[in-house]
Structure 1
Amino acid sequence: MPDPTDAPQPRPAGPVTAARHAAAVDALPWDDRRAFEDVRRGRVAAIEPPVVRDASGRTVWDLTAYAFIEGDAPTTVHPSLWRLSELHRNHGLFEVADGVYQVRGYDAANMTVVLGERGYVVIDTLTCVETAEAALDLVRRHLGDRPVTAVLHTHGHLDHFGGVAGVVDEKDVRSGRVPLVAPAGFYEHAVSENVSAGPAMSRRSGFMFGPGLPKGARGHVMNGSCAAVATGRTSLIRPSHEIRRTGEELVLDGVRLVFQYVADTEAPAELTVHLPERRALCMAELISHHMHNLYTLRGAPVRDAAAWSAAIDEALNLFGDTADVMFLGHGWPVRGQDAIAELLGAHRDLYRYLHDETLRLANHGHTPDEIAELIELPESLDAYWANRGTYGATRHNVKAVYQRYLGWFDGNPAHLDPLPPAQAGRRYVELMGGIDAVLAHARTAHDTGEDRWAAELLAHALAADPGHRPARLLQADVLEQLGYRSEAAPWRNFYLVGAHELRHGAPAARPSGGPGLVSGMTTAMLLDYMAIRLNGPAAAGLRLRIGLDVTPEHLGGPTEDRLLIVVENGVLRHTPPPSLPEPTTTLRATRPALAALAHGTAHLDELLTDNTAEVIGDRTALDTLLGLLDTFTGTFEVVTPTGR
C-alpha cells in the first residue's frame, strides 16, 4: 500500500494535452448557444444553497462544490466537457409545459411532476430518498401542498427509481391507493443490475463516476450526463402496473399518458411517455444532450444500437407532430417541433451510424481495436453538440456493437487463451530487460506525449510488480494526462481515479446493492443472490437440503413462501418443497431477516436473538451453508491485477 504522505499531487496539463485542447476549441461549434438559453428557461424557484443532507446531517448532495466551473476551460479539462459541466450547474424547479414541472440539479437525474386533479403524478424519483424528499418539498412549497397520486418509473437505472420511498409509502402502493407504473421487466432488471453484480459494479462505478476525486479542474468536473450521483439511502418498491406495449394508455389522477415501450434500448426495460393534452413528450433516457453509452464502463449488458435508433425514429413518427416540448431524464427540455425533430433525428442517425459502420468494418475482417481507430463520425453528426462524446464515447461504443454481435473474441487464435496479466507481465518485463528498462521506455513515451503506449508498457510492469513505487507514480502521471485529454467524463474519471489509487491506494470497502434494494427482492431473488455468494469449489463435495418458510414481517404471521434449498455439485438452487422426505433443517424467517442474511448484513444468531428467524430441527446444515457464503468487500484492485 503506498504511503499517501509521499504521494505527489495532481500535475498540470502537459504541452501535448494543451495543444490538443486548443485544436478542439477551433473545431467545435461555439456559436450555437441555444442550450444556455434553454437550460434557464421556466425557472420557478431553487434550493439555496443547492445542498441536501440526511437526518444525521451528512451531506448527500452538494452542487456548490462545482462553483469553480465558470469561464474558459482550463488546460486540464476538455473544452467540450467543461461546456456541458457549466450547463449542469443550473438547478431548481422549472416549468416545462402547462401543468408539467421538473426538479433539476439535486441528483444525477431529473424528477418530473405533473399536476393532476387531486395531486402530483411523479415521473422518476431520483437516486436516493433524501434528494427525492427535498425535491418534492421544493415542489410543494411553490406549487401547493398536494399528495402524490401516482408514480411512474421510466426505466430500471438506480438514479431514476432509488428515491421512491421518499415520494410514496410502500403500503399505499400495495393497497392500490397510489399506482406505481413501470415498464414490464423493470423490477427484475433493477435488481439484477444493482444487486447481483453489485460489489463489482459498485467498485467500477467508483471509477466511472469518480466520487472520491477532489472537485476541481485537476479532478472531478461532473459526470457528463449529470453533475454527480447522490449518496443517500436507496429504495425499491414493486410496481403495481406494468406497461407491455407501445400505444398503451393510462389516465392517472386525470392525466392522460400514452406510452411507447422501448425494451432493449438504453435500458433492458424502458418506456417513453406522451402527454397529449399538455403537448409534452418525455423521452426518458433515449435522448440526452450528449452521446450515450452502448456499453457503460461500470458494467451492464451491451445495448442494442439498432433497436435504440429504431425506437427514436418511432417516437418521432408517433409524437413529433403533437409535442411542443420534449423533456428528458437528464438535462434540460427542448422546445419547438423543429428543435425536437432535429435532436431526435441526430440521435437516431448517431446510433445507427455507429451500428452500421462497425458491422461494415467487421465484415471486412477488422477487429474491435482496429474499428475503434478507424471510425470517425460524419461532420454533420460530430459537430452537433448533443452528439458529442462527453458521456459515451465513439471508441468504446463501437466495441460494444462488435461485442453484441461477435462477442469478446476477435477471431485471432493467438487471443483465444492468452496468459493472465500477472504471468504475461513478468515475461514482458524480463524480455524488455527488466523493470528499470521498461520504465525508461515509458518515460520517453510519456515525455513525447505517447501516453497510450506508455500506459501499456507500465501496465506490464505493474502486472509483474504491483508494488513498484516508481512504476506506480509514473503510471499515475501517464493516466492523469490521458484523463485531462478525455472528452468523455467517464473516461476522464477512470483515468484520474486510477492515478489517484496508484498514488494513494485503494479506498475502504463500500457497501453495494443497498438494504433498500435487497429488502425489495422476492424470495427467489434473495436465494439467487445467495447462490452467487456460494463458494462453488468449497461446496462441490456437499449435499444439503434445507427448508425455508418466509413470513412478511413477523414470525407469527402467515407463510408467504415455502421452498426447499438444495446445495449439490457446488450449486445452490431452490425448488418447491417435496411432500417427502421432510428436510431435517428448516429456517423460518421474516422477509427482512432473510434479506439481511442473504446480503450478509446480519448473522443468524442475531436474527434468532431478535426473534425475526428461528431454526426448526438440527441447524448443522444451515450453519454449513452460511459458512460457505463469500463476503464481498468491493476493495479489489482495478489498476493492477487481482490474481497472481
Structure 2
Amino acid sequence: MHRLYLFVFPLILSLSACDDSLKLEQGSNDQGHTAPTVVTATANQAVLSQRPFDNHADFEDAKRGLIAQDAALISKDSQGNTVWDMPSYQFINAKNVSEGAPDSVNPSLWRQATLNNIHGLFKVTEGIYQLRGYDLANMTIIEGDSGWIIVDPLTAKETADKALKFAQQHLGKNPIKAILYTHSHIDHFGGIEGILANLSDAEQKALRIIAPEGFMEEATSENIIAGIAMGRRASYMYGRALARNERGHVGTGLGKGPAFGRFSLLSPTEIISKTGTKLNIDGVPFEFQSVSGSEAPAEMTFYLPDHKAFCGAELLSRNMHNLYTLRGAKVRDANLWSDYIVEAKELFAESDVYFASHHWPMWGQENIQLFLTQQSDTYKYIHDQSVRLFNQGYTPNEVAEEISLPASLNTAFHNQGYYGTVKHNAKAVYQAYLGWYTGNPAQLDPLPEAQSAKRYMEMMGGVETVVTKAQAAFDGAATGSVEEGTKTYRWIAELLNHAVFAEPNNTEAKSLLAKVYDQLGYQAESAPWRDVYLSAAYELRHGAPEKGIDVAIMEGVLLKTPVENFFDSMAVSLNGSKAEGKSLAIKITFTDLQESHLLSINNSVMRHRKVAIDTPADATLNLTQPLLVDIITGKAGLKALLFGDDLSVEGSELDLVEFFSLLDRPDGSFSIVTP
C-alpha cells in the first residue's frame, strides 16, 4: 500500500542544492556570484539617462497615508520556519537610491525594489486601508456599516494572520462581514485560514465570500497537470535559492517574493458572473467588472461609487505584466487584456482613487486615466507590432529583438519590464498565434540539446578550445561598446551552454557560464530575468536541488480540490512504455462522498470517469477524500494505510500494485542548466 504515495500533488520548489560545488572565484560572494564587470557597470549606469529618476512622485504615493510600520516584520509557521522576512531586504532603502544603485543591480529595478520595500498599514482614502509588504500581494480593508470587508487575504495563513492583527492593533477590532477574492491566483486567496482564525463560529457562518465566475475550478486546478515542471521553473523565476543581497535576490518586481506558509481555501458564497453586477456589501455599494482571461483565468475588478475608488485587482500593476510567465503557463490574450483596461477606463472614469492587488495606490482622475491609457496601449502595442513583424516573416527571436516601446509609453516607470518584459511578451504573442515552429525546416526535427551540443563542440575543435575562445571573448567584451559587450555575453551564454551540455562535468565551462549569467542577471531590469540568470549561476556552481517544499502546506487547498483533478494528474504520470500491452481497470471509491471513479489503462493511455459504486473492476480501493489528502501530503503513514478504518482493498492486490507501478514519480528536482 505504500505505493499510494504516487498520488503526490505536483507542487515542488527547490529548497537546497546537492553538495557539488565548484571552486569559487576570488572576489565572489558566499554563494559564488562574481563581481560586476566594467561592461555591466557601464550598462547599468547608462540606464540612469533613460528614465526620469529625478521624479519622486512614486515614493510620495507609496508612503502616502502611512499609519504604522512593523520594523521587524517576520512571519513564522507553527514549526518556527520563516514564512516572510521583510528585514532581509533592509539592504535596499531610499538612501541607496539617492546614492545610486550598486553596479550589480539595474538601477531601474533597484528603484522598483526600493518602492516595494515600503511596507505597513496605510489609509488609502476615507474608509479604505491597505496592508502592503506583508506578503507578495496586498490585503485591502474596506469599512462597512457594521464591520470590515477584506479584499485578497494574501498567500499564507501566517502572513494573513499577522497582517490582520496589525490592522486590528491600530484600527480597532471590527467584525469581518465579507471577503473578496479578486482572482484565482494563490497569493490572493491562500491566506484565508489566517482570517478565519480570528473569527468566531457565528462570524464564520455569516461570512460572505465573493469571487469571479470559475474561481473554484481555476483556483484548485491551476498547475495540477504541469505543476511539477512549473514548480521547478518557479524556483528560478523567484530566486528561491538566492541570498537576499546586492548580488542576489532583490524582489520580484511585483512585490518582494512569494510567501511559503500554510495555504488554504474556502468556497465562495456568491459569484460575480458579468460586468455591471452590483452588490451592497455591509452597506457599501460595489460595481463589478469581469476581466477573466486577462492576468488570471478567473478575475474581477470593482468600483466603489461612494468612495470614487477603483480596485484594479491584477488587471493593472505598476509594472508591465506577463503575457507569458517564465515559470510556464498558457499564453494570455494581449488584445483582450488591453480591451478590459479600456473598458475599465470608461466604466470607472470618475475614479479619484486607484488601488490594486499589488503595489501602491494612485490619486487623481487625470493621473488614473493616463495610467490606464498607457497600460492598455502597452499591451496593444506589443500585440500589434509582434503580429506586424511575424507577418513579414520575422522569427520569435527577431521579433523580440526588433520591438521597443515608443517614447510616449517608455518613460513611465509603471510600464517598465520589472515583471513581464517586451521581449518575452512579444514572443508570447508569436506563440499564441503561430506556436513553437518558426517555419524554418531546420527547427522542425532538431536533435535534443545534449546530442546537438556534442556535435557542435566536435565541429568547433572541442570543449577546451571553445572555453578558451569564450574566455577571450568575455575578457574582450569591454573593448567595444556597452551594447556590443552585452551582446557578447548573450552569445557566450549560448555558446557555453552547448559546452556544458556536451560535457556537464567540465568545471571551466560551468564556471565561465556561471560568471556570464551573473553579468546578465545584474543587467536585467526584470526581476524574474535577474532571478533566472542568478539561479542558473547558483546551480552551475552548487548543483540542482535535492528536495522540494513539503506538500503539506497545500492541505487546505487540496481538501477543496475535486478528486477528478488528482486523476488528471495521475494520467499524465503514466509511463507509456511501461504500460504498453497492459489492460487494467482500477476503481477508487470514496466512502464519505459515496462516489466511485474508474481508472482504466488501455493503449498506454489512462482514462477516468465517475461510475456507479457497484461497477466491476480488477481491484477496488476504498478510502475517504480526507485520507486521500493525507496520503498526498504524507500525513498518513503505512500503518494508517494498512490498518485504518478508512481504507480497504477489494479484488486483486497484485493488479493494484501493478497499476501504481506504471506511474512515474517525478520529484521536481530535475536539472535545468545541465543535461
TM-score range for the pair, normalised by the shorter chain length:
over 0.9
Query: Contact 2:582–2:602 (CA<8 Å) still a contact in 1?
Result: yes
Matched, 1:88 2:116: yes
1: CA distance, partners of 2:263 / 2:572: 22
RMSD of aligned Cα (Å)? 2.1
2: CA distance, partners of 1:5 / 1:475: 12
Residue correspondence of structure 1 range 222-237 to structure 2 within 5 A: 222-237=251-266
Residue correspondence of structure 1 range 321-400 to structure 2 within 5 A: 321=350, 323-400=351-428
2: CA distance, partners of 1:209 / 1:382: 25
Residue in 1 that maps onto 2:564: 524
Equivalent position amino acid for 2:458 in 1: E
Q: Can you give the 5+ residue segments of structure 2 that lack an aligned partner in the other structure? A: 1-17, 26-31, 478-484
Residue in 2 that maps onto 1:58: 81
2: CA distance, partners of 1:601 / 1:100: 41
Query: Contact 2:131–2:138 (CA<8 Å) still a contact in 1?
Result: yes
After superposition, the C-alpha distances for 1:7-27 in whole angstroms (9 at most, x for unaligned) are 332211111111111211112
Please state how far the C-alpha of 1:567 moved relative to its aligned partner: 2.3
Greater length-normalized contact order (CA 8 Å, ≥ 6 residues apart): 2
After superposition, the C-alpha distances for 1:47-87 in whole angstroms (9 at most, x for unaligned) are 33111112222211111111111312011100000001111
TM-score (norm 1): 0.94
Equivalent position amino acid for 2:316 in 1: I
Query: Contact 2:71–2:87 (CA<8 Å) still a contact in 1?
Result: no
Residue in 1 that maps onto 2:317: 288
Residue correspondence of structure 1 range 64-103 to structure 2 within 5 A: 64-70=87-93, 71=96, 72-103=100-131
After superposition, the C-alpha distances for 1:343-382 in whole angstroms (9 at most, x for unaligned) are 1111011000000000011111111100111111101101
Residue in 1 that maps onto 2:332: 303
1: CA distance, partners of 2:466 / 2:263: 46
2: CA distance, partners of 1:624 / 1:511: 28
2: CA distance, partners of 1:27 / 1:33: 16
Matched, 1:408 2:431: no
After superposition, the C-alpha distances for 1:395-437 in whole angstroms (9 at most, x for unaligned) are 1110001101111111111111111100000000000000011
Matched, 1:206 2:244: no
2: CA distance, partners of 1:175 / 1:166: 12
Give the alignment partner of residue 587 of structure 2, picking from 547, 556, 560: 547
Query: Contact 2:220–2:561 (CA<8 Å) still a contact in 1?
Result: yes
Residue in 2 that maps onto 1:538: 578
1: CA distance, partners of 2:215 / 2:473: 48
Please state how far the C-alpha of 1:587 moved relative to its aligned partner: 1.9
Matched, 1:504 2:542: yes
2: CA distance, partners of 1:588 / 1:111: 41
**In the superposition, relative to structure 1, how do residues 47 and 429 fare at CA in structure 2: closer, same or farther (>3 Å)?**
same
TM-score (norm 2): 0.90
2: CA distance, partners of 1:621 / 1:605: 21
Matched, 1:21 2:59: no
After superposition, the C-alpha distances for 1:105-135 in whole angstroms (9 at most, x for unaligned) are 0110001111223322111111111001111
Please state how far the C-alpha of 1:150 moved relative to its aligned partner: 1.5
Residue in 1 that maps onto 2:13: none
Give the alignment partner of residue 653 of structure 2, picking from 613, 616, 619: 619
2: CA distance, partners of 1:395 / 1:123: 33
Residue in 1 that maps onto 2:8: none
After superposition, the C-alpha distances for 1:571-597 in whole angstroms (9 at most, x for unaligned) are 222223258762353222111212344
**In the superposition, relative to structure 1, how do residues 480 and 428 fare at CA in structure 2: closer, same or farther (>3 Å)?**
same
Equivalent position amino acid for 1:45 in 2: A
Residue in 1 that maps onto 2:21: 4
Report the secondary structure of 2:289's partner residue: strand
2: CA distance, partners of 1:171 / 1:197: 38
1: CA distance, partners of 2:569 / 2:164: 33
**In the superposition, relative to structure 1, how do residues 195 and 603 fare at CA in structure 2: closer, same or farther (>3 Å)?**
farther
Report the secondary structure of 2:206's partner residue: coil
Q: Can you give the 5+ residue segments of structure 1 that lack an aligned partner in the other structure? A: 553-558
Equivalent position amino acid for 2:555 in 1: P
Residue in 1 that maps onto 2:524: 486
2: CA distance, partners of 1:95 / 1:543: 63
Residue in 2 that maps onto 1:148: 176
1: CA distance, partners of 2:287 / 2:655: 53
Query: Contact 2:595–2:611 (CA<8 Å) still a contact in 1?
Result: no
Query: Contact 1:248–1:259 (CA<8 Å) still a contact in 2?
Result: yes
**In the superposition, relative to structure 1, how do residues 584 and 418 fare at CA in structure 2: closer, same or farther (>3 Å)?**
closer
**In the superposition, relative to structure 1, how do residues 602 and 533 fare at CA in structure 2: closer, same or farther (>3 Å)?**
farther
Query: Contact 1:286–1:312 (CA<8 Å) still a contact in 2?
Result: yes
2: CA distance, partners of 1:395 / 1:462: 26
Report the secondary structure of 1:260's partner residue: strand
Equivalent position amino acid for 1:297 in 2: L
1: CA distance, partners of 2:267 / 2:121: 28
Query: Contact 1:103–1:135 (CA<8 Å) still a contact in 2?
Result: yes
Residue correspondence of structure 1 range 470-485 to structure 2 within 5 A: 470-485=508-523
Query: Contact 2:303–2:310 (CA<8 Å) still a contact in 1?
Result: yes
2: CA distance, partners of 1:378 / 1:365: 22
After superposition, the C-alpha distances for 1:420-478 in whole angstroms (9 at most, x for unaligned) are 10000000000000001110221122221310110011011111111111111000001
| % same residue | 45
2: CA distance, partners of 1:425 / 1:336: 56
Equivalent position amino acid for 1:108 in 2: L
Matched, 1:440 2:464: no
**In the superposition, relative to structure 1, how do residues 521 and 188 fare at CA in structure 2: closer, same or farther (>3 Å)?**
same
2: CA distance, partners of 1:434 / 1:234: 50
1: CA distance, partners of 2:277 / 2:494: 52
Equivalent position amino acid for 2:21 in 1: P
Please state how far the C-alpha of 1:629 moved relative to its aligned partner: 2.5
**In the superposition, relative to structure 1, how do residues 117 and 626 fare at CA in structure 2: closer, same or farther (>3 Å)?**
farther
